[in-house]
Amino acid sequence: MINKNFVSSLEASVQQLKDDNVYKRLNYLESPQSAHVKMEGRGDVLILSSNNYLGLCDQPEVVSAGIKGLEKFGAGTGSVRFICGTFTVHRELEHALAALVGTEASLSYVSCWNANEGLTASIAQEGDLVLSDALNHASIIDSLRLAKSITKCTTGVYAHSDMDDLRAKLKAGSSARRRIIWTDGVFSMEGSIAKLPEILQIARDHDAIVVMDDSHATGVLGKTGRGTAEHFGVLGEVDAITSTLGKALGGAAGGFVAGPEALCDMLTQRSRPQLFSNALPPTVAASALASVNYLTSHPDRVTLLRENTRYFRGSIEEAGFKPLAGETPIVPIIVGETSAAIRMSDMLLAQGVFVTGFGFPVVPQGQARVRCQISASHSRDDLDRAVAAITSVGRQLGIIS
């Protein structure tokens, strides 16, 4: 018999989340991720909360590559790569990813979470200093925690995009053996871009290493979607880049670390998710490879994404909202209280528009927001419909007049 106390205490915790209005309800989809989806019990819904930036989740070339990968390689290796063999499609994918983000090599993982988690502990040692931007993704935060407990390296957090704070903390750590700076390329709750050129300069001044998680930028930023480094014209200058295959690049799953050959080789030897967990399923690797190839041969998708973003930002400002300024397809509309963000999101869904609201503690108190995300797959009609719905709900809630 299972432990009843365990179950009842879990039930009480879940009830508390419901009482606090922070319980997450899942919406089930009956069709592929796209600009519109078929949502169980709701029918056609317009999605403005997906990371499907390039609309590749249901791109025919991406889907058929996955089917072919499954047929050619089967479901998977049945073990980890160094024990049982790795597939040629993984090597092909890793070459394509490295070429895309402008590094010598790359190594794939089942998720960017895994890639990040394994990285810090593999490159830091006791006596090293690892600094992280205050708004970095949860996977980076956990990566530092893990590295600290495994290696006894020193970790620290600098204020978000505060270059003076970063400089001061590096200076204080000048006796460290190795200094590592971790930053997101694009910060997901703000839609803001890291000050990469300054971070690189500061890193050179203080003999530090820059590791950038480009999950929201790969396929999105830069003229041809090569990410934050392309956006700033510094391709090839970042020591290590991590990113996901679960957003713009097909949206299935998977992540990677890209950098010098020696780094990827070292991670193959040392990184624990690489050593103790299976590789990306070949069907996913094949779809991701097709996504990279699609992006490379269709840079117009990136242009379309940028134009859609500009159009949506302009329309939403015209309607009287004040979205956080920026140029990424993440457009957060600040509504104030957490309850307002949740109500706005619920009311929009009732009108057939799916946008997620975020409140405290995910974002600071009083800065709750609905976060709109634009895709190249949105038509102008879709964007107009979204703006009309957001405007009508915004008026009902008194957020705009």
**Which of the residues are catalytic?**
188, 216, 247
Residue with tokens 């505060």: 162
Amino acid at 194: A
Nearer to ligand PLP, 213 or 239 (CB): 213
Q: Cα(35)–Cα(372) distance, rounded to whole angstroms?
A: 13
DSSP classification of residue 362? T
Nearer to ligand PLP, 216 or 343 (CB): 216
Nearer to ligand PLP, 113 or 312 (CB): 113
Where on the chain is the footprint of ligand PLP (CB under 6 A)?
Answer: 111-113, 137, 139, 184, 188, 213, 215-216, 244, 246, 255
- Token reading at 48: 């403005």
Q: Cα(190)–Cα(330) distance, rounded to whole angstroms?
A: 7
Q: Over the range 377-395, which residues count as b (16 or more CB within 10 Å of their CB) and which as e?
A: bbeeebbebbbebbbebbe
Report, in Å, the least distance between residue 315 CB and ligand PLP: 26
Residues 6+ apart with CB under 8 A from 316: 323, 331, 333, 372, 387, 390
Distances from the Cα of 98 to the Cα of 113, 229, 343, angstroms: 18, 13, 43
Nearer to ligand PLP, 51 or 377 (CB): 51
Report, in Å, the least distance between residue 369 CB and ligand PLP: 16
Report, in Å, the least distance between residue 113 CB and ligand PLP: 3
Nearer to ligand PLP, 118 or 173 (CB): 118
Report, in Å, the least distance between residue 135 CB and ligand PLP: 10
Report, in Å, the least distance between residue 308 CB and ligand PLP: 20
**Contact in structure between 11 and 5 (CB atoms under 8 Å):** no
- Helix axis angle, 196-205 relative to 163-172, nearest 10°? 20
**Contact in structure between 331 and 372 (CB atoms under 8 Å):** yes
In what helix (H) or strand (E) does residue 140 lie, and over which residues does it extend?
helix 138-151
248 alpha carbon, distance to own chain's centre:
9
Report, in Å, the least distance between residue 214 CB and ligand PLP: 8
Nearer to ligand PLP, 139 or 367 (CB): 139
